Structure 1
Amino acid sequence: MKIEEVHLLLSAALKATRIPVPPGTALHAVAQDQLEMARAYESDGTTFFGSGDPVNAHAGFFYAFGWLHFGCAYGTLVTEMPVPPCPFIRPCGRLPLTASDKLHEKSSRYERLLTTASASVTCAPDPSTPAYLLATRTIQVATTSARQGRWYREVKREEDALAHFSYGHGWLDAGVRAGLFAIHANREIFTVD
């Protein structure tokens, strides 16, 4: 999928997303946070793309999708689209060759970021609660994204690798912000404080 298509899909999904929980509740605040983060990274990606930086745009769009999909899984966000928007329905389009060094560097850095982030948290909810199930699902998304990203790096598909690393970190970061995890190391790599 070309970066322009990912952007259009994300923009359409965000326009069709609403918060189903009552205003004034703690879950509404969590939902607002999730939607604001997804919109902020979509906006950042748009700015990066417009300024000729497709690598940071690519990372931003997939990170935003991670936040959006986490919110939908948590039940704090609902998209009115008939089919949940998935940016992974096709392999990522190639970015310009002039961006290859930056793409390789960013993909390497985001692989380390996701690996470090996954090792820096523990599930906060009690194992007997439904919240624990979402926390373990979030860890599963993060570890699967890391594994897929590493495979794509091995086959020299850096665009797909960066997409998976960014997406997985978006899910994990959203889970931290939603209170599903306790941070025990590297607090600075999460969007807290």
Structure 2
Amino acid sequence: MIKTIIFDFGDVFLTLDKSATQKHMESYEVAELSEELIMVNASYEKGLISSSEFIQQYITCFPGLTKEAFIEAWNSILIEFPAERLEFLKQLKASGKYTLILLSNTNALHIDWVKANIPIYEEFKFCFDQFYLSHEIHHRKPNRDIFEYVLSENELLPEETLFVDDTQDHILSAEILGIHTWHLQAGKEEVVDLFSIKSNLF
């Protein structure tokens, strides 16, 4: 029996356009990212470098890129938060049947944008018993240690836990630990349909 549901944020609740940042960057003649910059991105998601250090890395690598232009490009991935997803979550919380946990790979710039542009963010956050953002806990998916951290911190049994995420690599890491999963297909499936799609678990 499922007692805890761990949700991802982006493309589960917050709609993303994952190609938007790259499209914006191309207008500044930024092609594919080097391995070094990919590692910088991962470090930033883990909160190992500050926003100012992160921005500086990019504008140093691409002299035509300004701080303002980069922040706009970086945040362009973030689109909207459909109200029906919040209503689903509020009803789930009100039922009192499950421990609800958010587990998101994210970073300070993105969360700053969300706080400024998504009026329901605080209401959304209030629905969770635990709210884990990668840059605050210094772990990121799909690394196994982030799942071990959440299980340990909350004294969870994997067989009583469901993890909902839109990224296959994240799902596979959770499954290795025995956690039940739903690989939500963003744009084809909706989190509000959780109990019909995963009815076998409930």
TM-score with structure 1 length normalisation? 0.27
Higher RCO by CA contacts (8 Å cutoff, separation 6 or greater): 2
Bigger proportion of residues as strand: 2
Bigger proportion of residues as helix: 1
Instruction: Compare CA radii of gyration and give the structure with the larger one.
Output: 2
